[in-house]
Each structure stands twice: as C-alpha cells, then as structure tokens.
Amino acid sequence: MTGAPPDTEDGLRVLAPWAERHPASRGRRYSETHNDGRPDFERDRDRIIHTGAFRRLEYKTQVFVNHEGDYYRTRLTHSIEVAQVSRAVARRLRLNEDLAEALALSHDMGHPPFGHSGEAVLNDLMKTAGGFEHNLQSLRIVEELETRFPGYPGINLTWVVREGILKHSPGKHYKPCKRIERLDPDRPPSLEAQIIDLADETAYLNHDIDDGLESGLLDPGGLGEVELWGRALEVARKRLKETGPSVTTRTATMEEKILRLTAIRWLIGFLISEQVGETARRVEEAGVRSPADIRERGLWLVGLPEETDRLRKKLKAYLYRNLYQHPAVEAKHRETDGIVRMIFEWFVRNPGELPEGYRNRIDKKGLERCVCDYVAGMTDRFAYRVSERIRETG
C-alpha cells in the first residue's frame, strides 16, 4: 500500500478501492460543456488556482504580517506546502492526488487578513449575524463570491470538492442552512479530504519552526529540548557528519541554517510516513471497500500512531506558548485586530462606500454579511491602506 503504484495507459495512477474517481460520483451543480479532456478534480484544482481569492493569499498573514520580511511564509506559500504534503500522502495511499491537491490549495482561501487573529475579530463582529469561520467562507467563495462564469455564481466545483472544503477539519459543526445541508454535514468526507487537516499541521509545524528560528523569536536551545524536534536535530547532525561540509566558505550561521533545514526535511518525511502507515492500518482494519463505506459508516480514518501523536502535540504546544503567543506576535495582533474592527465598523456606517458588487447584494444577504465578505477578502497590505484612508477622511 505504501509503494509507488504503477501507471495505467491513460497516465492516471491505479487508485485504491476507497479513492474518489474521475468522473466525480456527484457532479457539478450546473451542467457544463467542456472543450478539453481534463478529469473533474484536475479541472477543479485549476479553477481554484485561477481565482482571485487564491492569488490574494500571497499577501495574507500566516504568522508574520506580509511586510515583516520576504523570507516568512504567507497563506499562499503555506497552501503550496500543504499541497506538497497532501500529494505525498495521497500517492502512497493510492488516493486521488488531483482531489487532494485541489482541497489543499483551497483550504485557506476563506481566511481574512491577519490570520487567525483577523478571523476571531470578524467572528466577534458577526456574532449576531451568523458568525464567521474560514472553512465556511472558503465555501462561500467558490459557490457564490467568485464571478468567473456566465449564467451562474461561483466556479461550479464538483460536489466532492465542495464537501471537502467544508468538512476537512474534524469536529467542526455549523448552524444548519441550505448551503451546508446540500453537503451531508452529518457524514465524514472523502479520505482525500480527511488527509488535509493533518497535512496542514505537518506543513505549519515545520515552516513555523523555520520562520520562528529565522526571526529570532524562538530560542534554539529551548526548542531543542522538545522531544520530536530534538530527535530531528539528532538525525540531522548525524547526516551532516556523514556527508561533511561541501562548501568550505560556509559561516557558522550558514551551518546552523543547514542543520535546521536538514532537520525539517527529516521531520516532514517522518510525519508523512507515520500518517500513511497509521491511516493504511485503520483502512484495512475497518474493511473499507469504497468511498461510500467511509461516508455511510461515519469513519474518520486519518491519523498518527499514538506515540507519534503525543510527540506532535508536545511540539505544537511549545510553538503555541513560545511563537504564536510571543509578546511580539501578540502586539502585532492587537494592532491588526484594531484595523479589522475599524474597517468593518466604518463600512457598516458607510455602506455606500462598498464596491458595487457588494452593495448590490445587501438586500438579499444583509449589510453585515456583505461588509464581512468584503473585509475577509482583503489582503494585509490592502487592509492597511484602507485603514489609513479611513483615518484621513475621519
């Protein structure tokens, strides 16, 4: 199950019985005529890449606000790294890689400016108007807010992709509405969707270590005492000792960075391998024979072995205490929280200043929701510019 599967004559990999297949078992909401032979999920992935919402992720916060440095990850580079991990897991489990990649690339499209902090502010501002949650916002984007086709809203993704956008995070529950009810909210999604949440965490744990150390906010000594990262460093030191220096002009700083990146490469590979092995074991133990088995039997099968999961949680807790809750990060959050709140409240008071497309939806969707959609679509730098203009005009 973990080996690279052979290719078929049409170039598509031989899929496991529990993988989603082309054409999608439940198709698109609106019928279409296509002028090329791309499979359904490949087409969906391409549509996601061409949305304005996906492109704007380049200027949305991951941990560090975009202007704080060119090295640090953004929501866009994070999504690309999640897609990398998702494809690796999907391939080894013989799942549909196109579907996994489409879900990985779209999983954060609904994030507002300034990361999870911005999301929390919008959710508070919208508490009497339906709230705000980024997975549901991603679904709103692909079903309604993007306008790229004549005759219907959204980008007309397949049911399976829209299901995965909403349900790839286990344990989330949403207030019932037509949009959600269409996607069978009480059933788990495809196995391709189930791998996204852990792929997301694999990506951000590793790249946040890289960014945190690069920025100086994380203490290398303290982080090295965390068991999983300490193990990664031990493997990296051994590998570098075996290979020896390849560049005689390296500085001590360069050597430390190479050690760090070698450890990260090992840790990503380790977590992928552990996820694949444990998920394969659970699939076999459950006797899954089709995607329908997963949904009808309510099976959530993706995970890590118990000991690895314990180590992952300890590393994650360390990053929360020492990076995500670092005084410098929290100070930036206080600043940006105020920006999001000011922009939202100003447009609620001045709805005539909204772009025409948002103004035209107010009677149907409500003023607060239209303002929320507009603010959520802003990049960090655009939100800064809007806030400066508001301060100038009063």
Helix (H) or strand (E) holding 20: none
Written as tens digits, the pLDDT of the chain (394 aa) is 444 444 443 445 689 999 999 887 789 999 888 888 899 999 999 999 999 999 999 999 877 655 565 678 899 999 999 999 999 999 999 999 999 999 999 999 999 999 899 999 999 999 999 999 999 999 999 999 998 888 899 999 999 999 999 999 988 888 888 899 999 999 999 999 999 999 999 999 999 999 999 999 999 999 999 999 999 999 999 999 888 665 555 666 788 899 999 999 999 999 999 999 999 999 999 999 999 999 999 999 999 999 999 999 999 999 999 999 999 999 999 999 999 999 999 999 999 999 999 999 999 999 999 999 999 999 999 999 999 999 998 6
- Nearest-CA neighbor of 15 among 101, 90, 96, 83? 96
What does the longest C-alpha to C-alpha distance in the chain come to?
68
pTM of the model: 0.92
Whole-number Å distance between alpha carbons of 3 and 287: 20
CATH architecture, range 40-393: Orthogonal Bundle (1.10)
Could you give the dihedral angle defined by the CA atoms of residues 44, 50, 51 and 53, in that order, rounded to the nearest 10 degrees?
Answer: 110
Alpha carbon of residue 389 to chain centroid: 31
Alpha helical stretches, state H, the chain: 40-49, 52-56, 75-92, 97-106, 115-125, 134-140, 159-167, 178-181, 191-215, 220-224, 227-243, 252-286, 291-296, 306-319, 327-349, 356-359, 362-365, 367-376, 380-393
Whole-number Å distance between alpha carbons of 93 and 283: 10
Q: At 172, is the secondary structure helix, strand, or coil?
A: coil
